[in-house]
Amino acid sequence: MQLEGLFIAFPVIETERLILRQFTPDDAQALFVCLSEPDVWRYSRRPVPTSLEGITHHLDTLLKRYQERTMVTWAIVLKENQHVIGKFQMEEWSDEHHHAAVGYLLGKQYWGKGYATEALRAVMAYLFEHTTVNRIDAFTWRENVASARVMEKAGMRFEGLARQRYFAKGAFRDLKTYAILREDVLDQKVAKPLFRMDDKKHWEHPGDEGSRPC
């Protein structure tokens, strides 16, 4: 299907430890806990949310963006207890260019457990398997080492640095671009550890060994 098909039925994605599903209004409190930690916004131009009402409004906006077919936002949910631990977005997309751009964020207490890498791999796998996307890219401030590492571990390649792309928090910020192409996935070295389905049609995510593209 084309990327536009993602807006006909919401694409729920399951991994070993996570479920990526659509947000509901009931998720506001959990998302507020994730987003109200200042460190989460350290490498972002956006301000730290300060109220639950603000998050409720944010969830309304995300739903509207999905209905308008401009953005897909997944709640990242832990399978073991159904806690919302963050969000994952397909922020830009184009069927004309077979292109999508993604971004993600986790509550601080969930960092360092491999969840972002697991979610990124799963979304990439889903898009390459179920849509005609050819290129998926992601961007991060140069200072955001953890996010760049997630992109690398998921098999994306570093493509370049847009120097002083933003002026934010009192300084010019360099922006790193990472991307993965359909042809990279077809490359055995990348495809094997990243995109394999088990019998239950769930994506398997073996260890990180060997998943680096180069």
For position 36 contacting ligand COA by CB under 6 A, the verdict is no
Q: Is 114 a binder of ligand COA (CB under 6 A)? A: yes
CB of 127 to ligand COA, least distance (A): 18
The number of residues that bind ligand COA (CB under 6 A) is: 20
Q: Which residues pair with 139 in a beta bridge?
A: 177
Those residues with Cβ within 8 angstroms of residue 97's Cβ, 6 or more apart along the chain or in another chain: 134, 135
Beta-carbon contacts of 131 under 8 Å, excluding residues fewer than 6 positions away, are 1, 2, 3, 5, 6
Task: Considering the complex, state which of residue 7 and residue 114 has its C-beta at the smaller distance from ligand COA.
Answer: 114
Q: Identify the DSSP state of 134.
A: -
140 belongs to the binding site for ligand COA (CB under 6 A)? yes
Single residue of 150, 156, 181, 185 touching ligand COA by CB under 6 A:
150
Q: What residues from 65 to 104 belong to the interface with ligand COA (CB under 6 A)?
A: 103-104
Judged by CB under 6 A, which of 64, 79, 149, 169 binds ligand COA? 149
d(CA 173, CA 141): 6
Q: Which residues contact 1 (CB under 8 A, 6 or more apart)?
A: 130, 131, 132
Residue position matching structure tokens 């990279």: 184
Q: Of residues 15, 36, 147, 211, which one binds ligand COA by CB under 6 A?
A: 147
Name the site residues for ligand COA (rule: CB under 6 A): 40, 43, 103-106, 111-117, 140, 144-147, 149-150
